[in-house]
Structure formats: structure tokens, C-alpha cells
């Protein structure tokens, strides 16, 4: 199968403002950041670097790197800038992202944070102190610069068993956030929504909502719900909570069409965003309360040319229209088998015995054998007028004519004769 890559992030990658762990361990090595003297007070017990430094200064950051295995290993160290993925997660060590992924960012961390050594060869059980130099921009800035360092073991050859029994190759990267500020004041992160467009992500059609954080602060506890309503009742919805945005970043949140064929016309895109739990929580979403809420309604027009282009290249639609021949044959066989079972169980005629018993004299007054399917009804004509004792298989036409459902092969009908009663 296609090789999968699983990026396992350290605690700082998930939510830097709430992390309390101080060491991250892999199968073969562990990483522990050494907090500098100018670590911000509120981050004193955090498992990441969060320093307050004066413009133009520089300092050395330290990370204890230990080989916990019984073999020699090589670990690479890289530094990067914090960005926001399209799934609403923070990647602290982006190095090759387009400038369009950032908005209003004056200083990118990767320009100011440099590993002093990019590769470490560790013997079994050996511990080293990996270092990186942090150069503070000469021009004072507000808020936070965010980035980090990652540690990646070379020649990883781990296999992981998935729930369905498949084995996949897993590559692990451990990242430690590095945050920098000039002063104690950090502005509140504020969110805005940009445009919406119909596009594709990995050959899957989506309506992409542009989400912007133009402030030099993290946006934590971000939740979103978007509903797209199109022509002829087309509707697509996506809801997600517990997202996060790095300072001065933007991402495109995709609402997938899940293989539905786009039509020409206007699409109404309604989005509700909720974020922050630091102030007064007054807005409810997904079982929680948030400080801020933004409601947006936009219209996207999809032309005939756009719809045709997106539909032709949509992977889910291609799978529907290009079903493998073997799969079609398999479905055909299943249909034939189902039809045969249906005929055998419901339509095939078999011998049915009907017996009418006069309960007044306890004698058989009528007996007949006929061939009929399970869905058929058999007409019964009696020589005497009777009253039928309730029976779900019998429909009374009149006092001498009955219809009997042939669901069973033996049907007994109990009656009383009217002449004997009166």
C-alpha cells in the first residue's frame, strides 16, 4: 500500500498555552527543552520555550537529547516558523510554505532561529545538549513570534499495526515550540473570514472558506460550522471544534462535497466561528462556551465551465463512473443470487393443504390440496354457510367463499356452521 507518514508532535505542538510536560520520548530518543532565565512567568512549567527578550539581543537555547535505545542513531534538528494547516492545527516548524499562508507577519521565526548543529550522532545511551541560537529582531514588535525546532531520527523503520490489520510505516517528528516576545503585553487574537471559493484538495471538491488571524497572537479553542446550500437542494455541512491558529497566519477550511455533482448556480455559504475561552464565555457551540463569535454569509457563483471542470476531476465522482469491471461483475452476481432466493422463497409454487374444521361437530367439512407460491392466495368455496373463527390467513368474502393466504404448507381453518347455530 502507499507509504503513510505519521507526524507525532510533542505536547507543545498541540496547544502551547496549556502544556505542562517537559520531556518528550520516542522509541529511540527523548527530548527535553531547558528553560532559559528569561522564560515568561506564566510559562514557567511549560514544556516549550517562551522567552521575553529585548530587541537586538541574542541567546542560546538548549535541548537535552538522549539516545534511549541500545543502538547508535542519527537525529536531525531543524527550525521553522509556526503556521496553521488547513485542518486547523499549528505546525511549529514550517520551512517551505508559501508567503500566502501568512498574513501581516513582520518577522518569520525561521530567519531568527538557527540550529548550531543540524545533525547529531548518538551512541547507545548517550545524552547531548543540542543548541540553537535565537536572534531577536532589532526592531521592537508587539505580540509573539512563533516557531520551533524539530528532531527527526534518520532511517526510521517502524511498522504500526492498524485496526484493520494493515501494516503502515510510521515516521515520527518531535517538535518543541519556541515563542518570542518583547514585553509582557500580548494582544487578544482576533479572527476574520476572507473569501470563499469552489476548488479541490487532493482531487476532492471543496468549498474553501478563508480564515485569517491577522494578530500577532495565537487563537486557541477555535470552533467552526459551515453550511453550503446550492441549487436543487444541494447541501454540505462541516463542523469542527478544538482548532488553533498560529499568529499572523491564514488557512482555507474545506467543506467537502463528498462525491456530489456540482451544478451551475449560486451557493449560499453560511459560517459561524467561535474562539477563545479567556474572557466572558457567552456563546455556546459543540457543548462548550466561547468568548467570541462571528457569523458570516457569502454567496459563491459556480459557472457551467467551473462545475464541469471540478466534476470531471473529482476523485469520488470518478470512482462512481469508473467502477472496476470485477466489481460490476460481483454486484451482478449478487443481484442474480438475490433474485434466485427471492423466487425460491416467495414465488416458487409448492403444495399447500387447506383443511376446514366444523368446531360444532368437530368434523372436517372441507379439504383441498393446491400448488401456490408464498405470496399467492387460494380461493375456497364451501357448501354450507359458516362463521370463521378469527384467523390471520383467511379473508372472508361471504358466508361460503374464503380467500386463504398460502404462506404455510398446511393451513387449518376453524368455523362454525350457521345452520347448526340457528
pLDDT digits (tens, 9 = 90+) for 220-278: 999 999 999 999 889 999 999 999 999 999 999 999 999 999 999 999 999 999 999 88
Is residue 5 within 8 A of residue 171, CB to CB? The reply is yes
Element spanning 401, H or E: strand 401-405
pLDDT in tens, 84-130: 999 999 999 999 899 999 999 999 999 999 999 999 999 999 999 99
pLDDT at position 322, please? 63
Query: For the domain that residue 33 is a member of, what is the CATH number?
Result: 2.60.40.10
Question: In which domain, by residue range, is 246 found?
Answer: 191-321
What sign does the dihedral 397-401-407-411 (CA atoms) show?
positive
Q: Which residues of the chain have pLDDT under 70?
A: 1-26, 157-170, 321-326, 328, 419-422
Which helix H or strand E contains 215, and what residues bound it? none
What pLDDT, on the 0 to 100 scale, is given for residue 161? Answer: 55
- pLDDT value, residue 419: 61
* Whole-number pLDDT of residue 342: 79
Q: Which three cell numbers stand for residue 382?
A: 364451501
43 and 176 belong to one structural domain: yes
Do 247 and 378 lie in one domain? The reply is: no
Residue 273 near residue 293, CB atoms below 8 Å: yes
Q: Give residue 164's pLDDT.
A: 45
Say which CATH number the domain at 378 has: 3.10.20
* 293 shares a domain with 160: no
- Assess whether 241 and 114 both reside in one domain: no
- 113 and 170 co-located in one domain: yes
Cα dihedral 128→129→130→134 (10° resolution): 180
Amino acid at each position: 500500500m502507499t507509504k503513510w507518514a505519521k507526524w507525532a508532535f510533542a505536547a507543545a505542538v498541540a496547544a502551547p498555552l496549556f502544556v505542562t510536560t517537559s520531556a518528550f520520548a520516542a522509541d529511540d530518543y527523548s527530548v527535553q527543552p531547558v528553560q532559559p532565565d528569561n522564560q515568561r512567568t506564566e510559562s514557567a512549567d511549560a514544556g516549550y520555550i517562551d522567552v521575553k527578550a529585548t530587541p537586538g539581543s541574542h541567546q542560546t537555547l538548549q535541548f537535552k537529547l538522549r539516545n534511549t535505545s541500545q543502538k547508535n542513531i542519527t537525529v536531525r534538528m531543524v527550525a521553522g516558523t509556526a503556521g496553521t494547516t488547513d485542518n486547523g492545527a499549528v505546525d511549529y516548524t514550517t520551512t517551505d510554505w508559501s508567503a500566502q499562508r501568512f498574513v501581516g507577519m513582520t518577522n518569520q521565526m525561521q530567519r531568527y532561529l538557527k540550529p548550531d548543529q543540524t545533525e547529531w550522532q548518538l551512541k547507545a545511551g548517550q545524552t547531548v545538549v543540542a543548541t540553537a541560537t535565537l536572534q531577536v529582531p532589532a526592531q521592537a514588535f508587539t505580540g509573539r513570534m512563533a516557531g520551533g525546532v524539530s528532531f527527526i531520527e534518520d532511517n526510521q523503520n517502524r511498522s504500526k499495526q492498524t485496526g484493520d490489520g494493515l501494516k503502515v510505516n510510521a515516521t515520527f517528528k518531535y517538535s518543541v515550540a519556541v515563542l518570542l516576545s518583547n514585553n509582557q503585553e500580548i494582544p487578544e487574537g482576533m479572527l476574520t473570514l476572507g473569501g470563499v471559493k469552489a476548488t479541490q484538495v487532493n482531487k476532492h471538491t471543496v468549498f474553501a472558506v478563508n480564515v485569517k488571524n491577522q494578530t500577532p497572537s495565537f487563537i486557541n479553542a477555535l470552533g467552526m460550522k459551515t453550511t453550503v446550500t446550492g441549487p436543487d437542494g444541494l447541501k454540505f455541512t462541516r463542523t469542527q471544534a478544538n482548532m488553533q491558529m498560529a499568529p499572523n497566519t491564514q488557512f482555507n477550511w474545506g467543506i467537502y462535497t463528498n462525491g456530489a455533482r456540482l451544478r451551475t448556480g449560486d451557493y449560499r455559504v453560511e459560517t459561524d466561528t467561535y474562539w477563545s475561552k479567556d474572557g466572558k464565555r457567552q456563546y455556546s457551540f459543540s457543548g462548550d462556551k466561547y468568548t467570541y463569535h462571528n457569523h458570516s454569509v457569502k454567496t459563491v457563483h459556480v459557472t457551467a465551465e467551473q462545475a464541469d471542470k471540478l466534476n470531471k476531476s473529482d476523485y469520488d465522482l470518478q470512482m462512481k463512473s469508473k467502477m472496476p469491471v470485477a466489481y460490476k461483475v460481483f454486484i451482478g452476481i449478487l443481484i442474480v443470487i438475490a433474485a434466485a432466493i427471492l423466487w425460491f422463497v416467495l414465488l416458487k409454487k409448492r403444495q399447500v393443504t387447506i383443511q376446514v374444521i366444523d368446531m360444532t361437530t368437530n368434523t372436517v367439512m372441507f379439504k383441498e390440496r393446491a400448488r401456490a407460491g408464498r405470496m399467492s392466495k387460494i380461493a375456497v368455496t364451501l357448501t354450507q354457510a359458516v362463521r370463521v373463527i378469527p384467523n390471520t390467513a383467511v379473508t372472508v368474502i361471504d358466508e361460503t367463499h374464503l380467500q386463504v393466504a398460502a404462506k404455510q404448507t398446511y393451513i387449518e381453518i376453524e368455523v362454525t356452521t350457521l345452520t347448526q347455530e340457528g
